[in-house]
Chains A and B, each alone.
Chain A
Amino acid sequence: MGPLVPDIISGEFNFIIALIVGIGFGFALEQAGFASTKKLVGLFYGYDFTVLRVFFTAGVTAMVGIIILNHLNLLDLSIIYINPTFLWAALVGGGIMGLGFIIGGFCPGTSACAAATGRVDGWAFLLGGVIGIFIFAEGFPIWEDLYLAENWGPVLMFEQFGLNREVFGIVMILVAAGAFVMTTIIENKINNKETKWFKPTIIKNTIIVATPILLVLLVIITPNRTEVMNTRIDAKIDAGECNPKMMNADKLAYELMNHYYKYNVIDVRTPEEYKEFHIPTAINIPLEELHQSMNLSTVIQNIKTNVFYGADIYQSQRACMVSKYFGKSDNFALDLTAEEFNKQYFLLSEVDENGSKADVDLFKFRKDAAEKLTEIGEAVANLDKPVEKKASRVAGGCS
């Protein structure tokens, strides 16, 4: 599951990726004509809207691609880099960049392309860029407050409008398509050309615009993998096929006392509940997060036996089903809830002396088990604390 860096592709190799990606980027910009300052500035005087066409098409293509990859669970959007919003810095910085654009005729990426193809003005712009950054660095204390003001964090556009990602995607496609039509009319007017609409061109362009819209609509109407999983499990439960192997609590206690390392005890309740009480040696993976790839790697393995337990039997059985859904492993659901287990072992009252011998023995076993399990739990916690693997956001941007 993407992004492939850093878990699948290492940091060093990432530099080679950067070089390759850069070649593609430079190639695309040059082919589009972005190494020519006149072509770029045409946008602002209305005689050539190439920049807008390339820019919007690229943005929309990547955006729709992200929507699709996300839907197929191929890209984890919670960890990709989202440019943070610092309201004033973004507006003022953007304004200064706009001024630089109209005066210098380039932006940094395009000036690099121009320089590479032998344009002297590209080199001049690059030199200017370096000077500008130097001035920013030298005078940083002066604009530090502006730079850091109104930090909204990595907010997303569609959240601001109260839309979801897919709907906003369709809006953007329509905005882009509208802009393409408008700018063609303006461009022709300024260049004294008549705007003609040929039927085949209209049909072709409509198909081109409709394709991404249909793709996004498809994303909206088809369930994603998590939804498919839940529906299938629900169907199985409804059909009475939810009968995972049950693990008797006394058996589990006995097994843990003697060879805890053979068992993967998994608490599927919330972290808060887990913190309050959990069976010693148990790890916590909330039920809703169990199907995530980083958690599945703990569950789907053939070395240890999984024992799931939760706040009720339903939770532990469902966890069993999720695990079974994704792969082969030895799964059990504990026949007690977390609370019942706590009562049965750790909150024992006094033994009933008048009870049968079997009862007294069981009581003693459970009392011993509680002590021993606590000991093991502490030892394990100190020895091999499960490495907390938390995917952190990728660092990115231009700073």
Chain B
Amino acid sequence: MSEAPKKYMNPYLAGFFLGFVLLATIYITGRGLGASGAFKSVVIQSVNSVAPEHAENTAYYADYNESHPEGPMKSWLVFEVLGVLIGAFISAVASNRVALKLEKGPGVKNRTRIIAAIAGGALFGFGSQLGRGCTSGSALSGMAVMSFGGIITMLAIFGMAYMTAYFFKNLWIKKQ
């Protein structure tokens, strides 16, 4: 285990490979890639099992369950994200990059990083529902099929991140 992690792939080559996976997905299934939809399935499945009455009485869950009679977990994106977990793990094993650790900016406390990750995740999860897809489903796949909505979502994501980057620089780069 003392081997050093391998270098990352050339970004353009990785991008070409990723684009090829996306193209194959669209050719075979007629739809693009995604991620946040699988998390939504997890949420709805949890609510269905923990509080079935609440799920029945709340329009949002009831509508979802009605339009997905086979249950939220039997969805294309759930299987795809399982694949993502497997694929990322295989790739990391192959390049000696599997390690239990917490990545953070210099001088950031572990607790701060965890809280920020949860808060950021919550914002991203919320935003992905409002924007009907995340960076994968809306921005990347949307760009491939030249969807107007997908591309403006992409611009909004990166635009907002750039605009607010200054305020959160202490989380990521050394104080100057």
Determine whether the beta carbon of A54 is less than 8 Å from that of B15.
yes
Nearest residue (CB) in A for B147 is A83
Instruction: A32 to B10: give the CA distance in the assembly, Å.
Output: 7
> In the assembled complex, which residues on chain B have CB atoms less than 8 Å from the CB atom of A182?
none
Minimum distance in angstroms from A38 CB to a CB of chain B: 6
| Inter-chain contact total with CB atoms closer than 8 Å | 571
Nearest residue (CB) in B for A146 is B130
Determine whether the beta carbon of B127 is less than 8 Å from that of A97.
yes
> In the assembled complex, which residues on chain B have CB atoms less than 8 Å from the CB atom of A106?
117, 120-121, 124
Count how many chain B residues have C-beta atoms less than 8 Å from C-beta atoms of the other chain.
Answer: 123
Instruction: A86 to B147: give the CA distance in the assembly, Å.
Output: 11
Among the listed A69, A102, A398, which residue makes an inter-chain contact with B134, where contact means beta carbons less than 8 Å apart? A398
Interface pairs (30), CB distance under 8 Å = A2-B28, A3-B26, A14-B29, A15-B74, A19-B82, A22-B80, A43-B161, A54-B15, A57-B14, A62-B143, A85-B147, A85-B149, A85-B152, A93-B130, A97-B153, A97-B157, A104-B120, A106-B124, A108-B134, A112-B85, A116-B86, A124-B117, A125-B117, A128-B123, A132-B121, A132-B128, A136-B130, A137-B60, A156-B147, A172-B143
Nearest residue (CB) in A for B22 is A62
Nearest residue (CB) in B for A8 is B28
Within 8 A of A (CB), among B59-81: 59-61, 74, 76-77, 79-81
Instruction: A155 to B125: give the CA distance in the assembly, Å.
Output: 25
Minimum distance in angstroms from A392 CB to a CB of chain B: 10
Instruction: A395 to B29: give the CA distance in the assembly, Å.
Output: 10
Nearest residue (CB) in B for A135 is B126
Interface centre among B20, B114, B125, B138 (most CB of A within 10 A): B125
Instruction: A141 to B20: give the CA distance in the assembly, Å.
Output: 39
Instruction: A27 to B117: give the CA distance in the assembly, Å.
Output: 23
Interface of A is mostly: helix
Classify chain A: how many residues form its interface, as a range: 35 or more
> In the assembled complex, which residues on chain B have CB atoms less than 8 Å from the CB atom of A59?
19, 140, 143-144
Within 8 A of B (CB), among A188-247: 208
Determine whether the beta carbon of A108 is less than 8 Å from that of B11.
no
Q: Which A positions have Cβ atoms within 8 angstroms of B?
A: 2-5, 9, 14-33, 35-39, 41, 43-45, 47, 50, 53-63, 65-66, 69, 74-75, 77, 79-87, 89-122, 124-138, 140-141, 143, 146-147, 152, 154-160, 165, 168-169, 172, 180, 208, 393-399
Instruction: A202 to B5: give the CA distance in the assembly, Å.
Output: 30
The reply to whether the CB of B101 lies closer than 8 angstroms to some CB of chain A is yes
Instruction: A101 to B131: give the CA distance in the assembly, Å.
Output: 14
Decide yes or no: A55 and B124 within 8 Å by CB, A19-B83, A62-B144, A93-B156 being known contacts. Answer: no
Determine whether the beta carbon of B130 is less than 8 Å from that of A134.
no
Nearest residue (CB) in B for A169 is B146
Given A37-B103, A44-B162, A98-B162; 12 other pairs, CB 8 A cutoff: A9-B29, A18-B29, A19-B86, A21-B25, A55-B15, A61-B19, A90-B152, A98-B158, A128-B123, A132-B125, A395-B31, A398-B37
Minimum distance in angstroms from B131 CB to a CB of chain A: 3
Determine whether the beta carbon of B113 is less than 8 Å from that of A25.
no
> In the assembled complex, which residues on chain A have CB atoms less than 8 Å from the CB atom of B79?
15-16, 18-19, 22
